[in-house]
């Protein structure tokens, strides 16, 4: 199966990793057809293993090689079109400043969903769908009152990608979004 690994803490906060090194680390795990996409921790590969064991295996290997925790969120590339097409803010997205998708390890609890919803304001809105949440910002991300730490306190560890990046990733791996 073809997967995408969405890595947290790659090329942010001083954790710089060249993409050829990142590809090499994935190849050391005997994953096939490894490719990286933009320098923000998106890696596609082939494997017969299932998601949860792959996440743990990759996290352990990256931590040993890089010296810090690299939380890994894996999705089959065939799920990308549905994630992109969810469009919870379709009528508002065009006028907004940005739409981001946050990836989670598992579906959040009702309490976590409520805590995330409590962060909504006229400037920023949230929607949870499965193991992803959507963040629509009506203002620049630099100006939003919501921080990544607040989001993670509400809903748990995550890595986020812009909808624009996800559309480009889907196109690169040949799935129609």
Per-residue burial over 77-116, b = 16 or more CB atoms within 10 Å of its CB, e = otherwise: bebbeebbebebbeeeeeeeebbbbbbbbeebeeebbebb
Residue 54: how many other CB atoms lie within 10 Å: 20
* pLDDT tens, position by position, 18-48: 999 999 999 999 999 999 998 778 999 999 9
pLDDT tens column, 65-124: 999 999 999 999 999 999 999 978 877 766 778 899 999 999 999 999 999 999 999 999
Q: Which residue has the tokens 């295996």?
A: 57
Longest Cα–Cα distance of the chain, Å, equals 47
Structure-block tokens of residue 166: 């996800």
Give the separation between CA 156 and CA 45, rounded to whole angstroms. Answer: 26
Rounded to two decimals, the pTM is: 0.93
Q: 155 exposed, middle or buried (CB, 10 Å; 0-12, 13-18, 19+)?
A: buried
């Amino acid at each position: 199966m073809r997967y995408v690994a969405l890595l947290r803490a790659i090329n942010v906060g001083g954790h710089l990793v060249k993409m050829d090194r990142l590809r090499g680390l994935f190849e050391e795990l005997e994953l096939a057809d490894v490719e990286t996409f933009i320098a923000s921790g998106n890696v596609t590969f082939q494997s017969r293993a299932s998601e949860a064991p792959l996440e743990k295996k990759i996290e352990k290997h990256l931590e040993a090689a890089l010296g810090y925790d690299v939380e890994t969120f894996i999705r089959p590339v065939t799920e990308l079109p549905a994630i992109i097409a969810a469009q919870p803010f379709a009528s508002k997205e065009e006028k907004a400043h940005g739409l981001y998708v946050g990836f989670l390890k598992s579906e959040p609890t009702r309490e976590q969903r409520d805590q995330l919803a409590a962060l909504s304001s006229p400037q920023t809105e949230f929607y949870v769908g499965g193991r992803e949440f959507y963040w629509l910002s009506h203002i620049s991300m630099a100006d939003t009152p919501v921080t990544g730490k607040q989001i993670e306190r509400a809903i748990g560890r995550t890595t986020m990608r812009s909808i624009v990046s996800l559309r480009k990733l889907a196109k690169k791996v040949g799935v129609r979004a």
